[in-house]
Structure 1
């Protein structure tokens, strides 16, 4: 999981140099590591890493909340074609 997430954590740290280590279950939105201005840029990064476009209108914000959710919904070999949050 760490290798797949390295570009994501690098991106987050470049925007938040004070962040330090980012735990896999840290809420990225609540902790303001992803803000409204950077959200679309973040989606474009994930599309680039996953090699496919995502139907933005169908995405649930919870798919982006943690590094674990990002990995499971976008970057893992078993990631769904349309990521959806499952509590």
Structure 2
């Protein structure tokens, strides 16, 4: 939702759709246009980096569960679906 709002709303503000299309960071461009180049833009960049790092943890967890379920279904080798005796978690995958 945020990406669609960024694309649609950025086309209607001062830099216009050409600047949005050429920008590598359209959300930062919109934020700078609305709030200026002050501390707010740096704060947004810091929050974006924190969100990126948090998403890495989620991706790593999801990949392990994906490998585990594909192994149980027979698409990957069976040794990838071995679970821990106490915790019942897929520690190999």
**TM, length-normalised to structure 2:** 0.27
* Higher share of residues assigned helix: 2
Bigger-Rg structure (1/2): 2
**TM, length-normalised to structure 1:** 0.29
Query: Larger relative CO (CA 8 A, sep 6+): 1 or 2?
Result: 1
